[in-house]
Amino acid sequence: MMPAPIKVRAMRESKHGVGRREFLAAGGAVVVAGATAARPDALAQSQNSPGVLAAPPIQSVRIGFVGVGLQGSSHVNNLLKIDGCRIVAVCDVRPERTDWATRAIVGAGHPPPTAYTRGPRDFERLAETEDLDLIYTATPWEWHVPVMLAAMRNGKHAATEVPAAMTIDDCWALVEASEKFRKHAVMMENCNYDRMEMMVFNMARQGLFGELLHAEGGYLHDLRAIKFEDHNEGLWRRAWSQKVDGNLYPTHGLGPLANCLDINRGDRFEYLVSMSGPSRGLQDWAREHFPVDTPQRRETYVLGDVNTSLIKTERGRTIMVQHCTNLPRPYSRIHMLQGTKGLFQGYPNRVYIEGRGKVDEWVAGDDAVKEFEHPLWKEMGERSAGAGHGGMDFLEDYRLIASLRGGEPTDMNVYDAAALSAVVELSAQSTARRSRPVDVPDFTRGRWRTTPPLGIVHA
Ligand SMILES: NC(=O)c1ccc[n+]([C@@H]2O[C@H](COP(=O)([O-])OP(=O)(O)OC[C@H]3O[C@@H](n4cnc5c(N)ncnc54)[C@H](O)[C@@H]3O)[C@@H](O)[C@H]2O)c1
């Protein structure tokens, strides 16, 4: 059983102009007035909102893990190797997965966790019953927000796989709950911690690219076989291609770029335009792999195989973000960041900085990393070797636990979760209306102006 399916609501058209730019001071915070900027209930709450949350330090982080599938089991394995945390409860609709987690946890020398396997809402019983500091979820997309809200309502921090939310309303729900209950709601964007992404962030912080003007990212990954599997993601991911035409998975490409561009910390996504091309890949795959009378052959898909969005930031910078998961192609997140002095271009990784190296010639990323490796990778690269997705998953889990133990703001906060995830519905809205601009809500309610930029984090 799933929660109510996504409703991509009637698009609210862009309302640029004087009204939208009128800023109201409220309780010391600056909040944006305008149809799409902030909901009235949210405005009222902003007077008490904590800005960037730093919760009291937790000596040993007690974790409840919900959704121990492919990605969840990778996080469980990581957490078992990180000091200062314990997985004390696990939940999955498939008991064989909580059995797997129990074996892994006991095998690592910890007491067996309590298992919650009584159906798709049993995470609520977990959240209500267990004495926990953090509930971490790697469930299918439609369950992220229900799990996180149950966590925060019951006094626990929440962390989720990506995207955090699939609708604007759900993005607001996370922001409001995080502020109301003063709990972290972290979207675990592992690509923020990949080696090249961290190197580029380090280079951007050193000013090597000059003033940053433009970025491009995306998620270009042939998922056709995975979407049609009869287990794991095949059970839920393809269904989204039947109901939403937009960018279903914007955060891998956008997350690292947003950090470089100080999104929510000096700049913010202001508005977006999006368009999709035809939908062919899944139809072709079904035709080629399933007999004529199978249910897969009767499915219809609305997701354009290539969706392209352009985001304009408040400070005038531009970001292109793409989604392409239904066509044959090698993997890419594009990963391009350009400034007045040079640029980085991923896939393959290369750098060009004016005045360094030969004119008009790229320097290979592998050479650049010798000079510009991010300190976290210098400190933790060896330890993360062998962990999921080239080690970046271990680094993100490590940093989450370190922030909670230290009582520090998490590297990624609820405003990042909301702004990055909002692209799902906003891209669908714009695509549905001939690419008209749609405003990106200011989930920080003006605090993006005063929140300090993300620094260079360490182990
Ligand atoms: N960051 C990354 O690189 C990355 C990679 C893969 C997946 N993901 C994300 O991880 C999440 C899970 O993806 P996956 O590949 O592990 O999928 P999966 O299908 O393998 O795992 C999902 C798990 O959740 C369980 N589940 C489903 N509904 C549940 C509910 N209501 N309560 C408890 N458990 C429930 C399923 O039984 C399954 O074990 C998704 O959000 C996906 O986008 C991220």
**Tens-binned pLDDT, residue by residue, of the chain (459 aa):** 344 433 433 233 333 322 222 222 222 222 222 223 333 343 333 333 446 788 999 999 999 999 999 999 999 999 999 999 999 999 999 999 999 999 999 999 999 999 999 999 999 999 999 999 999 999 999 999 999 999 999 999 999 999 999 999 999 999 999 999 999 999 999 999 999 999 999 999 999 999 999 999 999 999 999 999 999 999 999 999 999 999 999 999 999 999 999 999 999 999 999 999 999 999 999 999 999 999 999 999 999 999 999 999 999 999 999 999 999 999 999 999 999 999 999 999 999 999 999 999 999 999 999 999 999 999 998 888 888 888 999 999 999 999 999 999 999 999 999 999 999 999 999 999 999 999 999 999 999 999 999 999 999
Q: Give the atom of ligand 1 at the shortest distance from the alpha carbon of 235.
A: 19
- H helices of 233-374, in order, are 237-243, 251-260, 281-289, 295-298, 365-372
Task: Tell me which H or E stretch contains 339.
Answer: strand 336-339
Protein residue with least CA distance to atom 4, ligand 1? 71
Count of CB atoms within 10 A of residue 277's CB?
11
CB atoms within 10 A of CB 245: 20
Which pLDDT does position 5 carry in this prediction?
Answer: 37
Interior/surface letters 207-236, b for 16+ CB within 10 angstroms, e for the rest: ebbeebbebbbbbbbbbbeebbeeeebeeb
CA of 15 to the centre of ligand 1 (A): 37
Q: Is 285 helix (H, G, I), strand (E, B) or coil?
A: helix
Nearest ligand 1 atom to alpha carbon 67:
24
CA 459, CA 454: separation in Å to the nearest integer?
Answer: 15
Residue 291 makes CB contacts below 8 A (sequence gap 6+) with: 297
Q: Say yes or no: CB of residue 319 within 6 Å of ligand 1.
A: no
What pLDDT shows up at residue 236? Answer: 98
User: What ligand 1 atom has the least distance to the C-alpha of 74?
Assistant: 16
Residue 288, helix vs strand vs coil: helix
Ligand 1 pocket member 416 (CB < 6 A): no
pLDDT of residue 51: 60
Cis check: omega of the bond before 112, within 30 degrees of 0: no
Rounded to the nearest whole angstrom, what is the distance from the C-alpha of residue 303 to the centroid of ligand 1? Answer: 21
CA–CA separation, 418 and 433 (whole Å) = 23
The tokens describing 79, both together, are: 């957490």
**Protein residue with its CA nearest to atom 9 in ligand 1:** 161
Distance 425 CA to ligand 1 centre (A): 20
Interstrand relation of 134-137 and 114-116 (parallel, antiparallel or unpaired): unpaired
Which of 68, 117, 139, 251 is the pocket-test mutation for ligand 1 (most atoms within 8 Å of CB)?
Answer: 139
